[in-house]
Amino acid sequence: MSKIIIVFLAIYFISFFGLAVVWRNYAVAKKTGANAFKLNKKIGAEAITGMYFKFLPLISILVFTLYAFLPTLYQSLGPMALINHKAFQLIGMGVMVIALVWIVVAQSQMGASWRIGIDHDEKTQFIQKGLFRYSRNPIFVGIIFTSFGFFLVLPNPFTLTILMLDIALIQIQVAIEEQFLTETHGEEYIKYCKHVRRWV
């Protein structure tokens, strides 16, 4: 089972960063000429969440690297034994795959408006079609489920911490973004918020 997990996570991380980060950033840049990465040079709460979004994924990769190549050191992280452990690992892999597809679809529906962080320099359209008809933040929903699935695949204090930080800091980021969108789009965005839930 461990070899299956190693292969799965290796493919997953390559796919996630390739599709949801590199390719999407390239697609936005090609269409608009803008860099979609907007986490640098922030202040206050945006700086805190920006640092998280830049560095916490690296911790996920570090945990995977220890599991794959330094299993003795990985054991020192204190892996958690879940009831029906293998079944939960399979469920976790399924959740991660569905979450990645969900994220990529939501990103494609955002089109040229997609950004990592808040774009204070350019007014982008807020999207109301596709998944955004049912959730105001479908990409963040997908990220939380990705972290949840990762915890089920490799349950340990680090992946649990990543999951909890995901939930807490995404709440902060969403509040910041919604305030920004309200100031930018006014009554149109307020009306949208009344009809569409924040999550699902």
pLDDT for residue 123: 79
> Does 85 have pLDDT greater than 90?
no
Q: Which two tokens stand for residue 7?
A: 């292969």
d(C-alpha 162, C-alpha 83), whole Å: 21
Q: Which two tokens stand for residue 126?
A: 């807020």
Q: Which two tokens stand for residue 152?
A: 């089920």
> Does 14 have pLDDT greater than 90?
yes
Torsion region of 186: left, alpha or beta (phi above 0 gives left; psi -120 to 50 gives alpha): left
pLDDT for residue 10: 97
Q: pLDDT tens digit string along 55-66?
A: 888 999 999 999
How many domains in the chain?
Answer: 1
pLDDT for residue 87: 92
State pTM to two decimals. 0.92
pLDDT for residue 7: 97
pLDDT for residue 35: 80
Residue 10 lies in a domain: yes
d(C-alpha 187, C-alpha 111), whole Å: 23
Q: Give the domain extent around 103.
A: 2-195
Residue 200 lies in a domain: no
Residue bearing tokens 């990220």? 143
Residue 37 lies in a domain: yes
> Does 157 have pLDDT greater than 80?
yes
